Chain A
Amino acid sequence: SQQGEEDPQALSIQEGENATMNCSYKTSINNLQWYRQNSGRGLVHLILIRSNEREKHSGRLRVTLDTSKKSSSLLITASRAADTASYFCATDSGANSKLTFGKGITLSVRP
């Protein structure tokens, strides 16, 4: 069952611009995580935000969480060509801490 749904499905920006990606979910969560996947590779964990947190930063990444709207956003500032990848949100909402992934956002950063 799909829990997180990302928006937009695809995003194309120029190098140096900021990229904002959104994730909405349906049920209450313990935490929400963002992952990156380069073509043909596994996923890499970027950042985890807990349900009692509203904002977290990691380098050029900023994640916000609004539990009242059941949504999260991932902001990548000063994007680089190397940021070109698919980005997934994943929610942890059960006692077994299984993650439920969205379908992903394809980000293209043009040099």
Chain B
Amino acid sequence: DGGITQSPKYLFRKEGQNVTLSCEQNLNHDAMYWYRQDPGQGLRLIYYSQIVNDFQKGDIAEGYSVSREKKESFPLTVTSAQKNPTAFYLCASSIARGTQPQHFGDGTRLSIL
């Protein structure tokens, strides 16, 4: 079955530590996205990538970094510069740039130790 896999489901970060969230898709989608969801809030776009080796900042990119070396993979690193990282992180993909529905993974919940 095709889909998006996010791992781990739960992640804990110590002060001053960088952590990386994994996102893999086998849908053969060109576009991938990272969102942050806080309680009672909608999704806010962190980074997106329309094609391999290319990505753009979203609305809240500060303190985050991404890479897109393979079509299937779009990992997100939460750096120590992100002072309030506790949130639910969602990865999504869509067929291509354009008017398309997005398919979501089941998220990673990041907490501070």
Contacts and interface: CB of A to CB of B under 8 A. Distances in A.
Bin chain A's interface residue count.
20 to 34
Given A40-B107, A41-B106, A42-B90, A33 B101 contact: yes
Contacts of B50: 96
B83 interface: no
Interface stretch (B37-45, B63-71, B74-82): B37-45
Contacts of B100: 97
Interface residues of B, number: 29
B105 A42 contact: yes
Contacts of A101: 35, 42-44
Contacts of A31: 99
Interface of B: 4, 6, 35, 40-45, 48, 50, 56, 58-59, 90, 92, 94, 97-107, 109
B40 A103 contact: yes
Contacts of A18: none
Interface of A: 1-2, 4, 30-31, 33, 40-45, 48, 50, 88, 92, 96-99, 101-104
A58 to B, nearest CB: 12
24 contacts: A2-B42, A31-B99, A33-B101, A40-B109, A41-B106, A41-B107, A42-B6, A42-B90, A42-B92, A42-B105, A42-B106, A45-B101, A45-B103, A48-B99, A48-B101, A50-B99, A88-B42, A96-B48, A97-B94, A97-B97, A98-B48, A98-B58, A101-B35, A101-B42
